[in-house]
Structures are given as structure tokens and as C-alpha cells.
């Protein structure tokens, strides 16, 4: 699933369409096969002739703002990604196109491809309505914020409800820090040399600080690498991101740790895989 850095890369590439007027927004033939898109063409038609003013990211959501009050909230789901392509037609190598957008005076189109079909498009009457949507309202601090929100991170970890939780579980809680998913959780804990099974209440202040720095370093490094392409994420040109090349622990069970030679292990926390080195992470 695309995490904060992959969604941020998507936002940065889609920004080229800010200030551009939409001439056509089309649900593809393929999308009509899925109930979730059925009859939605009319709803999307209200954006024809409108100009995109700003594309924002909140956690793993993209918020599309226009020169009128309506707003599109877009989640990439498990496998969704935007591709920017030359010309007006969807290239044949894009096999799961769901939405296609054409812009005025622009020889490129934006295509939303989504093989597993978990991507979301919600349309709101106003920006405030989006902000009131619970998964947005409850989001914690932006993990990509510079400088990293150390104080807010430490304060939230100190909450009583979190004391007895394993750090490897709680890092996925988007109300703590928004944008961390399973990959960067494992990588941040590895960089901070913290065992994912440690209870939050047992972490020393200096470890929490180190973890905050590690989250920040890992998330920014991921954006610089155009994200991780473990399953299906693709950059806007259709290429794979390269962050997986520097992963130290994620999906490396059975492989020797680069630092100590011990085998990386995989455990399951809240039905999600966590990878770590028992020797380096204490």
C-alpha cells in the first residue's frame, strides 16, 4: 500500500496540473464494470471547466482543490497510482485505468490506474467538509514536516492509552504520526535500533527522540527515492520507485543483517508483518 512518501511523490508530480483547467474528466469503460464507479460520471462532470488550484496531501490522502467550492478527496488504496501520459489516449500498457483527466492547453493526461480497486474518490461540497471527515480530522502530525514534530510525537506516546502497546504496533496509528505505513515503520525502528516489541512505557526519552529523527530521515529518504515499489506502486512516469534498494529490514526475513550478520526476522503485529534484527534492535 502506498504510504505517506509515495502519496507525497504523487502530489509533487500532479502539481504540474495546478492552475490548469479540466476539459474532460472521464470514467473509463473499465471503471464502469465496478459498482463503486457506477453512475458517478455525472458527479465528476461538475469539474469540467474548473481549474485545479492546489493539490494537498494529508497523511495518505490527496485533496484536490478547485476554483469553486467543491473538493475531491482521493486515497490511492492498495494499488492505486496516477500516471501522467503524453497525448489524449490511455496507452495500451496501462491495463487498469479507472479515471482519465484531460486539461486545456496541455498535451499530457492524468490517468488513475488501480488494479485492486481499493482507491477512493470522495466529493465534498466544501473544504471544511473534508476536514470534518473523521479519518482526516483525527490525523496526527505530518511525518514529513520539517523539523519533525518531536514534542507532539513524544506527548502522544505518553498518553495513558498507549503505555502498554508495542512500539511496532502503534507506529501505524495515523493519529500518532500521519503517513507511516508498514514499510517505513520497520525501517525507522531499524535505524533507531529499537526492538518493535518494546512497550511504549519502557522507551527512554532519548530513544523516543532517536525514533522521531529516524522516522523523519526514513520518510524523506523515501520521497527522494520516489517511494518504494514493493507490490505495485509506480511513479507518475510508470516507473518503479527505488527506496526498496536501501531497505535494511523490510521484506528481508532470512537475509543477513548488514550491520551484524544476524538473520533478519519477521514477526506479526496486528496482522501486519514487522521485520527487524534481534541483535541490533534492543
- Active-site residue 272, yes or no? yes
Give min distance, CB of 250 to Zn ion, in A.
Answer: 14
191 vs 280, beta carbon nearer Zn ion: 280
Q: Where are the beta strands (DSSP E) in 89-239?
A: 97-103, 108-113, 120-124, 141-142, 177-178
120 vs 262, beta carbon nearer Zn ion: 262
Alpha carbons 249 and 119: distance in angstroms, whole number: 28
Cell numbers given for 205: 526519552
Alpha carbons 28 and 33: distance in angstroms, whole number: 9
Nearest residue to Zn ion, scored by beta-carbon proximity: 257
Alpha carbons 243 and 245: distance in angstroms, whole number: 5
Q: Is 279 in the site for Zn ion (CB under 5 A)?
A: yes
List, in order, residues 6 or more apart from 282 with CB less than 8 Å away.
193, 194, 195
Alpha carbons 221 and 135: distance in angstroms, whole number: 26
Alpha carbons 75 and 97: distance in angstroms, whole number: 15
Among 67, 260, 270, 282, contact with Zn ion (rule: CB under 5 A): 260
Give min distance, CB of 187 to Zn ion, in A.
Answer: 14
- Active-site residue 3, yes or no? yes
- Active-site residue 113, yes or no? no
167 vs 249, beta carbon nearer Zn ion: 249
Cell numbers given for 105: 492547453
- Active-site residue 16, yes or no? no
Helix axes 4-14, 205-224, angle to 10 degrees: 40
Catalytic residue among 57, 60, 185, 248: 60
Among 72, 144, 189, 277, contact with Zn ion (rule: CB under 5 A): 277
Catalytic residue among 24, 108, 266, 272: 272
16: phi then psi, degrees, rounded to nearest 5: -60, -20
Give min distance, CB of 195 to Zn ion, in A.
Answer: 11
Stretch that binds Zn ion, among 118-126, 156-164, 221-229, 271-279 (CB under 5 A): 271-279
Q: Is 259 in the site for Zn ion (CB under 5 A)?
A: yes
Stretch that binds Zn ion, among 87-95, 120-128, 148-156, 255-263 (CB under 5 A): 255-263
Q: Is 257 in the site for Zn ion (CB under 5 A)?
A: yes
Q: Which residues bind to Zn ion, rule: CB under 5 A?
A: 257, 259-260, 262, 277, 279-280
- Catalytic center residues: 2-3, 60, 272
Amino acid at each position: 500500500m502506498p504510504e505517506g512518501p509515495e502519496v507525497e511523490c504523487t502530489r509533487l508530480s500532479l502539481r504540474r496540473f495546478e492552475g490548469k483547467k479540466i476539459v474532460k474528466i472521464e470514467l473509463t469503460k473499465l471503471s464502469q464494470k465496478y459498482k463503486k464507479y457506477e453512475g458517478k460520471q455525472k458527479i465528476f462532470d461538475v469539474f469540467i471547466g474548473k481549474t485545479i488550484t492546489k493539490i494537498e496531501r494529508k497523511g495518505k490522502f490527496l485533496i484536490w482543490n478547485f476554483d469553486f467550492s467543491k473538493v475531491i478527496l482521493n486515497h490511492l488504496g492498495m494499488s492505486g497510482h496516477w500516471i501522467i501520459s503524453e497525448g489524449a489516449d490511455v496507452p495500451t500498457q496501462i491495463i487498469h485505468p479507472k479515471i482519465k483527466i484531460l486539461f486545456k492547453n496541455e498535451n499530457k493526461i492524468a490517468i488513475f490506474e488501480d488494479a485492486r480497486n481499493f482507491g477512493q474518490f470522495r466529493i465534498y461540497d466544501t473544504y471544511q467538509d473534508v476536514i470534518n471527515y473523521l479519518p482526516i480530522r483525527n490525523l496526527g502530525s505530518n511525518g514529513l514536516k520539517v523539523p519533525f514534530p518531536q514534542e507532539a510525537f513524544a506527548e502522544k506516546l505518553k498518553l495513558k492509552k498507549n503505555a502498554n502497546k508495542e512500539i511496532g504496533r502503534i507506529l501505524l496509528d495515523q493519529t500518532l504520526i500521519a503517513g507511516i505505513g508498514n514499510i517505513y515503520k520497520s525501517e525507522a525502528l531499524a535505524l533507531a535500533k529499537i526492538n518493535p516489541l518494546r512497550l511504549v512505557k519502557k522507551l527512554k526519552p532519548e530513544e523516543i527522540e532517536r525514533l522521531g529523527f529516524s522516522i523523519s530521515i526514513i520518510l524523506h529518504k523515501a520521497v527522494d527515492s520516489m517511494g518504494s515499489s514493493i507490490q505495485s506502486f509506480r511513479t507518475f512516469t510508470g516507473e518503479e520507485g527505488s527506496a526498496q534498494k536501501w531497505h535494511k529490514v523490510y521484506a528481508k526475513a532470512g537475509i543477513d543483517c548488514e550491520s551484524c550478520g544476524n538473520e533478519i526476522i519477521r514477526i506479526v503485529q496486528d496482522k501486519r508483518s514487522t521485520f527487524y534484527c534481534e541483535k541490533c534492535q534492543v
